Amino acid sequence: MHDESRRIEERVQRLHDQRIKSAVYAATVPFEVEAWQAPGEPVPFEEAAAASYEPFTMGTPWGPPWGTTWFRMRGQVPAEWAGKRVEAVIDLGFVGDWPGNQAEALVHLTDGTPLKAVNPLNQYVAIANPAQGGETVDYLVEAASNPDILADNFSRTTPLGDKLTAGDKPLYTFRSADIAILDEEVWHLDLDVQVLRELMLELGEHDPRRHEIAHALDRAMDLLDLDDVSGSAAAVREALKPVLSKPAHASAHTISGVGHAHIDSAWLWPIRETKRKTSRTFSNVTSLADEYDDFIFACSQAQQYEWVRDNYPKVWARIQESVKNGQWAPVGGMWVESDGNLPGGEAVARQFVHGKRFFMDHFGIETKGVWLPDSFGYNAAYPQLAKLAGNEWFLTQKISWNQTNTFPHHTFWWEGIDGTRIFTHFPPVDTYNARFSGVEMSRAVRNYAEKGGASRSLAPFGWGDGGGGPTREIMERARRLADLEGSAKVVVEHPDEFFAKAREEYPDAPVWVGELYLELHRATYTSQARTKQGNRRSEHLLREAELWATTAALHAPGYTYPHEKLDRLWKTVLLHQFHDILPGSSIAWVHREAEAEYARVARELHALTAEAVAALGAGGPRVFNTSPYDRSEVVRTADGAPVYVEVPANGSAPLTDSAPPQPVTVDGRVLDNGLVRVEVAEDGTLSSVRDLRAGREVLAEPGNLLRLHTDLPNYWDAWDIDKHYKNRYTDLLDASSVTVVEQDPLIGAIRVERSFGKGSTVTQTITVRAGSPRIDIETDIDWHETEKILKAAFPVDIRAPHSSAEIQFGHIQRPTHTNTTWEAARFEVSGHRWVHLGEPGYGVAVINDSTYGHDVSRTVREDGGTTTTVRLSLVRAPRIPDPEADQGRHRFTYALLPGATIEDAVAEGYALNLPLRVADAAGAPAPVVSAEGEGVTVEAVKLADDASGDVVVRLYESRGGRATGTLRTGFPLAGAQITDLLERPLEDAEITDGAVALTLRPFQILTLRLQRG
């Protein structure tokens, strides 16, 4: 037989694209359209319905950036269309090849009932099936003219990312708004041909099945009447039935399809637009559920459900009905799909608490899995936190984006830092917006790493980010691929069902230990520094407010614990931990609003803490310590005078001056407190840091060296830092002034001022305090650079085989060498409050109050010694998607801690981030709780969420070793239970001599519920 593959393939493509697709709608009549441009921000339906509309003509430009245009569409179904399937088909002037991040609309009936959204790949609204004929159609359509920020593949900056700079030029041209007959036979033929053609093209050249499909398509096309596609469609479909009905091989891979619509809670649009995106997509989903009984939709992010509940009650009612019917599956169990690295440990716990509670309260469903497809890497505390929240499985997708190494598993057990394992899946289809194309089906089978051990994977399908979610076309593809020779098999099912089957099939799946590090998007640890600082401060202010509110509730008559306020503030902070807000990868509008929200949260939390402290009664100035460690340090009074105080953990003490171990001396540019001696060079760097206790020099080279690097990644400016950034830099060694600014027995400080680049300045105050080896570097930057990153280096004379960086409820060790590509790929990593470098007998920590990104490297000197350098990433200057990212003022503190153990790093990390508070208060009640035992660290103290009055304490082992100890209470203890994160009892805790006995494995998290006597 002659090879006619090329002719057949080209013939089928042309007939499909040019004739069959164009015949899907058999006849159309246009709507009469009027328009009203809403002024400013979106308005409620009632206001739009009462507005005055003007005639609108197709082909007319409409929609300023971020604007809302309401269209009134009126029409009548022709009488002769009775019995036909009739739809409204609306093309707002869609652009590009991405169905999200552009124009979209929600169609309402005139009584305000939302019907369905209109999206680039989902343009229809069902009118009647069968139509009665003569039916009047009257819609109000709320259309959003959101700009296409992704235009030109992020290759240029744009002012469109903020309504303040976007201008008012219309972005779109309305193409058509019609009432149309859907020719169902042609529509099904269109899908038959698509599925077969795509399968054919993915099969091998020598696969008989490929040629069987090709010739079947060729023969079927002979039956297509080009002058009457509709009339001949049935015959063509009948000819294709034999090749569409051949069953898949018995060993074929099975893909569990789960309807999905990944909607970023903010990204290239503001939060206010996400509220509308969710309503549009969820309207589509509930409509699709009405059409397809076998449809299952998995949806995460409790925050998005709450937005719909509060703003679109009719859509909310439809969601509730779909959940009852089993077609809508709440998943994820988190408030939002948060970033996987940057939120603090307690914040991740609260993500689960607030998310899971929402689904239980509103649907009576406890979610079983963590659904996090798109975060930029995942911390190694997740397995334990997920299991403590009652989860059984974990799903991610993003690791497929790795730049260097291919992750070796798709189904595996993920083991966290404490030893907890959770069953994890990473879909080989490599997308969370699948549509069951031939390419996707082939890729899933080809990629699947578990061949021979397992035979199934999961594929989330549907258009995300405002694309409207799953479509009927995708559902039809799934039906055709359910059992088709040459293809993987597709079954649409609940993700819980997939995970149960996958675990049963593959119980001895391989184990991955430690973090799931994404070898990409490493700059998300640094971009938009003010957003990150707002998060860090909010997390610690929440801890402070909860502790002192609990103290007041226990000891101040008449004081009421502010459950509702704290709940609301936590949810605000959790929302802004979304994986495109906290990482700094959103448009300017998002980060401008985030900064304002963090400022509001700080004001409210300061007020709540002040109220709680005031409730304890007046009686003179006291010092309040929110840290879980006893503190002996210098604090300033209201008039700025330094005082050396000693304060117990989680407690308070009178503001009385205690005698420090040794006063601070200042001699020229040398600060000395008997523990450390710091010499500041003329250029402003630290020329020497001598640990007087150990009798050794800490630095191998000048420390606190500020280095300005060129920082232009290959792509994804706000997300990425590529390795070549190291090759071009300028060391900032031209200090304009080095001045002693404080010389007191308790505090010595030297200020260094610099100017550089495009008018940027940095002022650093290097401070040594009595009684502490910690050297603080308070930094004030006025930043005006572009495509640069500023780092601060501390080269220490330590041969450290690994660095230790704090993560949620513990720390992780990373090799300092680059023996393999896996280590080399970790050239920029994340950490929380501290990074520790150590060799046997000696260590140094670098502490911070708001930075996350850093790198660690090592070199061997000519003298044979090893220099290990930790460099903090302070601030960046990407221009896409926010052209003004990080511009302006930044104020933060980082510190060098010589002679530090891991325990010292933990304690000083808390201390730097939880400054002592001075307030007027009566005699101090005993701390709510006091933990005894090395490594036993209290993370949160609060009243139980059920308002029972029980005290809830979350603690963990922080050193990475076993710990034994006790937890004593400052109130009569009547009973104690160990609980899960949701404060549900798991077992009774052991009480000995009125205290809770503690035995913890390395990095174990323990939540205790304490009953008051």
**517 in helix, strand or coil?**
coil
Residues in contact with 600: Cβ distance below 8 Å, sequence separation at least 6, in sequence order:
none
As a dihedral over the C-alpha atoms of residue 355, residue 359, residue 365, residue 371, rounded to 10 degrees, the angle is: -40
Cα separation, 678 vs 392, whole angstroms: 52
Q: Which of 601, 534, 41, 531 is nearest to 275 (CA)?
A: 41
User: What is the Rg, in whole angstroms, of the alpha carbon atoms belonging to the chain?
Assistant: 31
Q: CB atoms < 10 A from the CB of 922, how many?
A: 16
Cα separation, 967 vs 990, whole angstroms: 11
Per the annotation, the verdict on 374 as an active-site residue is yes
Pull the structure tokens for residue 743: 């010389």
Name the strand (E) or helix (H) holding 904. Answer: helix 902-913
Q: What are phi and psi of 331, to 5 degrees?
A: -140, 175
Name the strand (E) or helix (H) holding 118. Answer: strand 114-118
Cα separation, 842 vs 861, whole angstroms: 19
Cα separation, 125 vs 114, whole angstroms: 11
CB 16 within 8 A of CB 197: yes
Cα separation, 381 vs 416, whole angstroms: 5
Query: What angle, 0 to 180 degrees and rounded to 10, lies between the N-to-C axes of helices 313-324 and 302-311?
Result: 130
Q: What are phi and psi of 207, to 5 degrees?
A: -85, 120
Q: Which of 999, 811, 792, 784 is nearest to 901 (CA)?
A: 811
Q: Which of 89, 447, 459, 545 is nearest to 260 (CA)?
A: 459
CB 324 within 8 A of CB 490: no
Cα separation, 914 vs 344, whole angstroms: 14
Strand pairing partners for 679? 670, 688
**109 in helix, strand or coil?**
strand
Give the 3-state secondary structure of 315-337: HHHHHHHHHHCCCEEECCCCCCC
Active-site entry in 374, 683, 780, 920: 374
Name the strand (E) or helix (H) holding 754. Answer: strand 747-756
The strand pair at 936-943 and 985-988 is best described as unpaired
3-state class percentages of the chain: helix first, strand second, coil last, to nearest 5: 30, 35, 40
**940 in helix, strand or coil?**
strand
Query: What angle, 0 to 180 degrees and rounded to 10, lies between the N-to-C axes of helices 472-480 and 184-202?
Result: 60
CB 814 within 8 A of CB 829: yes
**583 in helix, strand or coil?**
coil
Residues in contact with 492: Cβ distance below 8 Å, sequence separation at least 6, in sequence order:
256, 257, 258, 259, 294, 295, 296, 475, 478
Q: Which of 878, 168, 55 is nearest to 523 (CA)?
A: 878
Cα separation, 289 vs 319, whole angstroms: 10
CB 955 within 8 A of CB 997: no
CB 322 within 8 A of CB 328: yes
Cα separation, 327 vs 493, whole angstroms: 9
Q: What is the DSSP string of 653-668?
A: EE--PPPPSS--EEET
DSSP state of 17: I
CB 489 within 8 A of CB 248: yes
Residues marked active site are found at: 374
